[in-house]
Structure 1
Amino acid sequence: MRPTVPNYVSKDSATVGSALHEAEQSLESAGVEGARLEATLLLGHVLGYSRAQLLATLLDPLTEDQASRFFELTTRRANREPLQYLRGRAPFLDFELEVHPGVFIPRPETEQVVEHTLKVWDPTAGWAIDVGTGSGAIAIGLARRNPRGRVLAVDQSPIALATAAGNAVRLGVHDRITFVQADFLRALSLSSSNIGIIVSNPPYVANNDEVDPEVRYHEPRKAWASGPTGMEAYERIIPESAALLGSRRYLVLELGYGQEKAVRGLIRESGSWAKPHVLADLSNIPRVLSVCRERHP
């Protein structure tokens, strides 16, 4: 169904409140969840206002340029472009990351990966390696929360690496993160004595799985689609980590829905790991798996 087109752009008396109301209706008709909040965030982006400021100015008129810009963004969002791309930023932990097309948008679930990694990573034991850094969410989260630590952020996408490096500079942690273009871990020249932990939110969606249109048509496919089974990234990361990690060093992985059993099987096959520990997310879905290396081959 074609989304309803807001008509506030043609109104001489368009106000903050009327524009928000019509944008909300447009987004709802397009199937966008949380339409009221998203309309508020988009208009706040156009005006440079916080949500509180918008609520205090509902009767204020919009200029023609403001209404036109808001109309453009609302129409694009109704066509299912990600909100984060339209605003140019995404919240993560206690900071915001710049994101744009070509860069995977960080999800709230990945915050749990960072929080758990901080509990099991001893920065004096070596670097944290973030495999598939994307916007730099995990790497920057680790560097901000643990000033003693050094992080190696790996991604095969030059667009993602440039964005992540820019985020690290803006957030003041660029001196503790090294960015490297590589496909997973095998091509890196690393010594196990320098590695404290390996962490990853890998692509874990199967090619034919159903995903939201925001993901399928706008986010970089290699960042979310792993292959025919959805397990292909784990099949590389786990054995490559086993070859690199020394004794009592951890591997921390974000899990896709229903993948815990298969990931545990891959860990058993690669040998010499302790029993994995799995944490569920707020929906009680197994989301974070951590496992300690018992000995280095």
Structure 2
Amino acid sequence: MGETWTILKVIQWTTGYFARKGIEQPRANAEVLLAHVLGLQRIELYLRHDQPLTTSELARYREAVRRRAAREPTQYITKKQEFWSLEFEVGPSVLIPRPETELLVENALKILGTGPARIMDLGTGSGAISVALAHECPTLQIIATDTSVRALEIARRNADRHNVSSRIFFVAMDLFAALAPLPLFDLIVTNPPYIGDAEFSELAAEVSGYEPHTALKGGGIEGLTVIRKILQEMPLYLKAGGALLMEIGHRQAALLQKEIEENPQIEFHEFISDYSGILRVLKLRKVNR
């Protein structure tokens, strides 16, 4: 890059470089990475635009730029992502929390109100859903599960960061595998793997190349294997009248509609659209008896 690079000059150069590499939002990526390397907020970059970078800062920034140009997600480089206005640690062992997943938190809070309740978070990953719910509602007791021990380590740190670890019990298991079939939960919430084999090849390189495949691929061409297993087993663990909220993939609502209607254990269901108009969340209620 040269020897006398100011903050502004570095941002301008990197923006052009990322644009040539086909990186979306190249300036935003350049600013986020530089702010991370310098330990600043993005707004501070403009207040110090003529500040030169040291040799050490340039070296660390070059490495961050190299990783991003190789399509590694910015969030894995900075090790953080905002979700529900809270900052979460993320890494290659967990999915990066998406804005549409906030729909699960929003609708869970509508269902739960302010009273005490017992919740299960299947496939917690970074713990974003559990931590957000516990942060909003201090009367909740949450069991959060994941097959990945490394994911659970990150989830525990996120719970500690937001002072909710005393109300979330983290368990390493595959779906309901380690639980006795008892109707203990008022709500089951889950963002399961749901990418189909046919769709996986179409994902952005940042997703397919770096995010954990076990948390992405739902099984089968349509990605419905895990979802169907949850729908089959969840009545054993929900209280009468209890609810399930599950994030699903594009076009999966139509594929699931008939089998949900024919399930005698379900007395109500609806599909909730995300901000793009995609039917993104399945909400259902177990028969109240």
TM-score interval for Structure 1 and Structure 2 normalised by the shorter chain: over 0.9
CA distances 1:121-172 after superposition (whole Å, capped 9, x unpaired): 2575641100000000111011001111111001111011111011101110
CA distances 1:13-71 after superposition (whole Å, capped 9, x unpaired): 21101100111112112221111111100000001111110011111111111111111
Counterpart of 2:55, as a letter, is E
Other-structure match for 2:175 = 184
Other-structure match for 1:199 = 189
Trace 1:124-135 onto structure 2 (pairs within 5 A): 124=115, 126-135=117-126
- Is the Cα–Cα contact under 8 Å of residues 129 and 153 in structure 1 kept in the other structure? yes
- Is the Cα–Cα contact under 8 Å of residues 125 and 196 in structure 1 kept in the other structure? no
Equivalenced residues, count: 286
1:39 paired with 2:44, answer no
Counterpart secondary structure, 2:229? helix
Question: 1: distance between equivalents of 2:117 and 2:37?
Answer: 44
Other-structure match for 1:175 = 166
CA distances 1:88-120 after superposition (whole Å, capped 9, x unpaired): 111101111101111111111101111111111
1:263 paired with 2:253, answer no
Other-structure match for 2:209 = 217
Counterpart of 2:188, as a letter, is I
The TM-score with structure 1 as length reference comes to 0.92
Uncovered stretches (5+) of structure 2, i.e. residues with no partner: none
Alpha-carbon offset, residue 263 of structure 1: 2.5
Q: Equivalent of 1:273, from 244, 266, 274?
A: 266
Counterpart of 1:167, as a letter, is N
Question: 2: distance between equivalents of 1:55 and 1:266?
Answer: 55
Question: How many percent identity over aligned positions?
Answer: 35
Runs of 4+ in 1 over 3 A off after TM superposition: 122-126
Counterpart secondary structure, 1:291? strand
Question: 2: distance between equivalents of 1:266 and 1:26?
Answer: 50
Question: 1: distance between equivalents of 2:146 and 2:44?
Answer: 39
Question: 2: distance between equivalents of 1:262 and 1:121?
Answer: 28
Q: Equivalent of 2:82, from 68, 85, 91?
A: 91
The TM-score with structure 2 as length reference comes to 0.95
Q: Sort the Cα spacing of 1:266 and 1:138 in 2 relative to 1 into closer, same or farther, 3 A.
A: farther
Uncovered stretches (5+) of structure 1, i.e. residues with no partner: 1-7
Other-structure match for 2:232 = 239
